[in-house]
Amino acid sequence: MSRFENRLRTESARLRLRTPVFLSLLVLILALLPARIPARVAAPQGQGSPSQSASGISVQYSEQLFATMCALDAAGFQADESTLSEVPARLALRDHLLKMQGPATEALRKFYHDHEMADPSQTLSRYITFGLVAGPPPDFRFQMDQEALPPDVLGIQDFQDILAAFYQEAHLELRWLDVRAEYERAVERDQAPVRNIVTVANAYLREITRPISGRTFTVFVEPLVGNFANFRNFGDHYSIVIGTTSEFPTDNVRHAYLHFVLDPLPLRYRDQLQAKSALLNIAGRAPRLPAQYQSDFISFADECLIKAVELRIENPPAAQLEKALADEDASGFILVRPMVTQLMKFEKAEPAMTYYFPDLIAGIDVAAEQKRLQGIKFASLASGSGAAASSLTESHVSQLDTEIALANRDIALRNGAGAAEKFQAILSKHPGEPRAIYGLAVASVLMRNVDQAKDLFQQVLGESADAAKAGKPDPVDPETLAWSHVYLGRILGLEGDSDSAAQEFHAALDVRGAPEAARVAAQKAIDSANPPPGPSGGSGAAQP
């Protein structure tokens, strides 16, 4: 997701609707919207680890991440054991957890399998995000409101109670004491390379590490994440989770740290940067350019800046530099080359990057770049070696998720027209994508087009029903399916078709793997339509 979009506030003026039906419908549906919307969040609290340094930069461990990965172990997640050679006690614990039995463990395994994704790295990613925003054990209560939770956590927010029960059953507070020393050694080992990354980057940028109120950069060490480096930022709080591999992931950590240092500059000089935004019309045609950059020039320019700084820090020979720049051009990151040129000028100047950045922007000649890029042939998504093609395929999957997250962000801002435009663009590339149809339905409600919303919710449900009749896998994920039933049931109820509404609510309860929030909403709707008998045998008041 775009780190700049992540800073947008979700609060906006309430929509004023002129009819009670529209008002009731919008209130009912918008009450459920936070289950899909990312927003700015506060710093994760309660990480069980050494204290943060005065600069806000630190290497830590996290009991939340430890407990989360223990749960994945018990559930059968295929962790990369090759990275556990330096933490033998953690490897032994994994064997124990796989053999565990008990009601909480069985509930955990069922939850995990109901929410498992086709790509193991995506499955791991959402639980890593959970571990970063969860509070301390034994309750793991989130440290922010539900509407502020990242989108990949919203899909598994019921994991909070599952993990709390498993934590007690597995006695993880005692298990943690057994392995804590190994985590402390890993933290101590990684402090030197992180310190070196910070020193080299700051020296190149001529920046001084100093405390900045509210901004943090944390490297979390968690052996079970293996070779996957997971980078997140929640507002001004940047985190990267790394395993205990034999080779420290310098490139990944440095990239994350440069985001921490440089992200504020494109935001501060947004107007000057936007004057160069015509170049995004060219870059946006590149098949390899991730979706979050195709419509967000500020984020695109920031990523190009970081790539350019990395190249100048590495300072490869001229031939290697030219090859790297050609690869960036072919992938759509066309600003890397002119930024490298401007960085060469920066290296001969005196001010720190904080003060030089406006000059760097001014040095980019849009007309010259447009002329240079005439007739450029971008690399195709499928080009390259087998390994590269596999990596690109994974990028393509996450690109769709990113596009949907960006469209959902417009819904969070109550921008129905903007969300509709984005969802329609997704559908033009991915016809029949249920999450996009669902999102377009919600956007239609925001635009007061209830008839269209109804048709779209029915279309989502139709996709699921057709697959069931044909004996094919359901293309609609349980969360989208359950909420579509709930939303359609509410619309039908407002239209006076109580029987059909009840059928939708019951259907929502029957969805295997439906999120608890959707089940609660459906059950409340059923209960309100069928109040229990009063003391005299008649109808009593509906229970809250």
| DSSP per-residue letters across 317-365 | -HHHHHHHHHHHHHHT-TTHHHHHHHHHHHTTS-S-HHHHHHHHHHT--
* pLDDT tens digits along 450-481: 899 999 999 999 988 888 888 887 888 888 88
Which residue among 186, 207, 242 closes a domain?
A: 242
Domain presence at residue 477:
yes
Residue 9: what pLDDT?
Answer: 30
Query: Is the pLDDT confidence value at 16 over 80?
Result: no
Query: Is the pLDDT confidence value at 289 over 80?
Result: yes
Which residue among 223, 242, 261 closes a domain?
A: 242
Query: Is the pLDDT confidence value at 81 over 80?
Result: no
Residue 219: phi and psi, rounded to 5, are: -100, 115
The answer to whether residues 237 and 269 belong to one domain is: no
The answer to whether residues 442 and 363 belong to one domain is: no
Residue 45: what pLDDT?
Answer: 44
* pLDDT tens digits along 135-159: 999 999 988 777 677 877 877 888 9
The answer to whether residues 267 and 234 belong to one domain is: no
Domain presence at residue 377:
no
Tell whether the torsion through CA atoms of 217, 218, 224 and 227 is positive or negative: positive
Domain presence at residue 130:
yes
Domain presence at residue 535:
no
The answer to whether residues 142 and 288 belong to one domain is: no
Query: Is the pLDDT confidence value at 44 over 50?
Result: no
pTM of the predicted protein model = 0.66
Query: Residue 215: pLDDT band by 50, 70, 90 thresholds?
Result: confident
The answer to whether residues 9 and 31 belong to one domain is: yes
The answer to whether residues 61 and 195 belong to one domain is: yes
Domain presence at residue 424:
yes
The answer to whether residues 358 and 314 belong to one domain is: yes
Residue whose C-alpha is closest to residue 436's, from 477, 492, 394:
477
User: What's the number of domains the chain is made of?
Assistant: 3
Residue 409: what pLDDT?
Answer: 65
CA 59 to chain CA centroid, Å, is 22
Return the CA Rg of the chain: 25
Residue whose C-alpha is closest to residue 249's, from 220, 286, 208, 279:
220
Domain presence at residue 307:
yes
Query: Is the pLDDT confidence value at 533 over 60?
Result: no
* pLDDT tens digits along 387-439: 333 333 333 335 677 778 778 767 766 788 888 999 999 999 888 889 899 99
CATH of the domain at 31: 1.25.40.10
The answer to whether residues 411 and 439 belong to one domain is: yes
Q: Which domain holds residue 88?
A: 57-242
Lowest mean pLDDT among 227-241, 254-268, 305-319, 381-395: 381-395
The answer to whether residues 231 and 162 belong to one domain is: yes
- Alpha-helix runs per DSSP H in 210-269: 250-262, 264-268
Which residue among 242, 270, 297 closes a domain?
A: 242
Helix (H, G, I), strand (E, B), or coil: what is residue 186? helix
Domain presence at residue 180:
yes
Distances (CA, A) of 4 to 238, 259, 458: 13, 11, 34
Tokens read off for 252:
């990944």
The answer to whether residues 95 and 212 belong to one domain is: yes
The answer to whether residues 64 and 25 belong to one domain is: no
Residue 83: what pLDDT?
Answer: 57
**What is d(CA 426, CA 167) in angstroms, rounded to the nearest whole number?**
40
Q: 259 near 233, Cβ under 8 Å? A: yes
Domain presence at residue 136:
yes
* pLDDT tens digits along 85-114: 667 787 788 788 888 999 999 999 999 988
* pLDDT tens digits along 297-355: 999 999 999 999 999 999 999 999 999 999 999 999 999 999 999 999 999 999 999 99
Average pLDDT over residues 480-507: 90
Query: Is the pLDDT confidence value at 188 over 90?
Result: yes
Q: Give me the chain's average pLDDT, please.
A: 80
Share of the chain above pLDDT 70, in %: 80
Tell whether the torsion through CA atoms of 54, 59, 65 and 67 is positive or negative: negative
Query: Is the pLDDT confidence value at 31 over 70?
Result: no
The answer to whether residues 297 and 203 belong to one domain is: no
Q: 442 near 453, Cβ under 8 Å? A: yes
Average pLDDT over residues 66-85: 79
